[in-house]
Amino acid sequence: MRLFLLACLAVVPIIAQATVYRWVDENGKVHYSDKPTSNAEIVTLKENTHNKVTVPKAIDYEKDVTAQEAEVAVDYKLSIISPEQEATIRDNDGNVDIVATTQPKPPKSALYTLYMDGKLVGEAQHNAVFNLKNIDRGTHQFEVKMITQSGKVLASSSPRTVFLHRARVGNVQKAPKAKS
């Protein structure tokens, strides 16, 4: 059985190199075939007419993964630069701006997330400046995290405590006056 298979495989290249015949019929139409006819002539094909298939260079996924891991292996330092630790912010609208910085320069694909009192605030974004609106008065703790597209944490800032003072929240209704 193996000998038969080997013989068949040896014949395949010979068949693939079949001779091509060309002839013109009585109407002047040119025909090509692999079977000879009475007025056919053998066509010799030029080297540049043969199909050449080149296989594209294989992608080395392990190398790509190693490059991504090397990117993750960098020891990033993330810190909140504004507001200062235990800063008191007086804003009647409850607006707070959180600004963080990263050393060394983060990868372009890095995202930043903000946590207020342990809960994620908003969605991940490409810059480390967060503008919060209508935050309740009181003591709040903020933390910024730099993450990859897949959600892996690259760096975290240390928690920053901030005190927010608001003169009033919403419309405060006055008690009705007593009738005398």
Question: Is 66's pLDDT higher than 60?
Answer: no
Which DSSP state fits 106?
P
Is 95 or 69 the better-scoring residue by pLDDT? 95
The per-residue pLDDT for 98 is 94
Q: Is residue 172 part of a domain?
A: no
Number of domains in the chain: 2
- Judgement on whether residues 44 and 104 belong to the same structural domain of the protein: no
- Cα dihedral value 78, 126, 74, 154, nearest 10: 70
Q: What token pair was written down for 16? A: 């693939």
Predicted confidence band at 72 (pLDDT cuts at 50, 70, 90)?
low
- Judgement on whether residues 161 and 110 belong to the same structural domain of the protein: yes
- The tens digit of pLDDT for each residue in 132-166 reads 999 999 999 999 999 998 889 999 999 999 999 98
- Judgement on whether residues 80 and 161 belong to the same structural domain of the protein: yes
Neighbouring-strand partners of residue 82? 99
In single-letter form, the type of residue at position 50 comes to H
Q: Is residue 93 part of a domain?
A: yes
- Judgement on whether residues 78 and 161 belong to the same structural domain of the protein: yes
Q: Is residue 6 part of a domain?
A: no
Q: Is residue 86 part of a domain?
A: yes
CATH number of the domain to which 154 belongs: 2.60.40.10
Q: Is residue 114 part of a domain?
A: yes
Q: Is the pTM of this model over 0.85?
A: no
Q: Is residue 133 part of a domain?
A: yes
- The tens digit of pLDDT for each residue in 113-130 reads 999 999 999 899 999 999
CB 172 within 8 A of CB 132: no
Contacts of 130 (CB under 8 A, 6+ apart): 97, 98, 99, 112, 114, 121, 122, 144
Q: Is 114 exposed, middle or buried (0-12, 13-18, 19+ CB in 10 A)?
A: buried
Q: Domain containing 32: what range?
A: 18-50
